[in-house]
Each structure stands twice: as structure tokens, then as C-alpha cells.
Amino acid sequence: MTTDSIDANVVLRIILGDVPEQRKLATQLLLRSRSVHYLSSQALLECIYVLEVAEGIPRREVVDLMNFFLTKFSDVLEYDRKMTAMAFPVYLSHPKLSWADCALAAEAEINHHEPLFTFDKKLANQLPQAKLVL
């Protein structure tokens, strides 16, 4: 089995369905049985940003949409499952933090690279993994 990569646009066309022909092509691509498709953390970040900021979708629905997509194609997707499992609840429970902040804190904890040093007081005040640079 081969592994390729997909970008945020492939994911977003499937989730949003805003370009029907591209949705069909993207779905066909993901369902090809001879490939595993890698979704990078950067592509996931872009998906969440577009859904939340550009499309104005509430966080709870963004997480539900992403989880639906990741589950629907779980047999053919490779992505950082630990990070998403840890970061999604933080993203939902800390509405003032961006997805990027939540993902960075999750990665720091998973990889035992703590603390996550920052100048972002909001981040440092909300997550135990983050510490202000003093």
C-alpha cells in the first residue's frame, strides 16, 4: 500500500460540499483502496481555521465535522490521532485559545517537551503545559 498526502482543500471540499464536482473527486481519491492518505497537522490547522474563521462555523460543530470526516475515512487516513484526541477537548473548553495553541500544547505534552514557553499570557494562564518566558 502506498502513502500520499492530502491538503486542506481536499478535506474542505468533502466537508463543505461547496464544489460538488471537487467533492466527488476528493471522495473518490480517498476511497481508492491502494492508498493511505496523510493529513498533516498543518493541513488540519488550515481546515479548522477555514471552518471556524472563514465559514463562521461554531467550534462544537467544527469539531463534530472534523471528527466525522476523520472517522468516515479512518481506514485510509494517517494523521496525528493522539494530538487531535488531546487537543479537541481543550479547543472546546478554552474558546479564547486558537486551534494552533491547543495543538501546540497537546504536542508538547505528548512528546514530553514541556513546558511550552510563550509570551502569550492568555495561553500561559489557561493551560498548565504553557509557561510565560520571564
pLDDT for 33 equals 67
What is the pLDDT of the chain when averaged over all its residues? 96
Per-residue pLDDT averaged across 112-133, rounded? 96
Question: What is the pTM for the complete model shown?
Answer: 0.91
Task: Return all residues near 92 (Cβ < 8 A) that are at least 6 apart.
Answer: 59, 60, 63
pLDDT at 35 over 90: no
Grid cell 473527486 in the structure block, residue: 25
Q: Total domain count for the chain?
A: 1
Spatial neighbors of 127 by CB under 8 A, at least 6 apart, are 90, 94, 97, 101, 105, 116
Q: How do residues 84-102 score in pLDDT, each as one tens digit?
A: 999 999 999 999 999 999 9
Supply the pLDDT for residue 111. Answer: 96
pLDDT value, residue 77: 96
Q: What is the pLDDT of residues 10-23, one digit of tens each?
A: 999 999 999 999 99
Q: Where are the alpha helices (DSSP H) in 94-132?
A: 99-110, 121-126
Strand spans (E) along the chain: 2-6, 35-39, 77-78, 116-118, 130-132
pLDDT tens digit sequence for 41-64: 999 999 999 999 999 999 999 999
pLDDT score of 80 more than 70: yes
Q: Express as a percent the part of the chain with pLDDT over 90.
A: 94
Question: Domain range for residue 99?
Answer: 2-132
Mean pLDDT of 1-18: 95
pLDDT at 1: 73
CATH code of the domain covering residue 15: 3.40.50
| For range 104-110, the mean pLDDT | 96
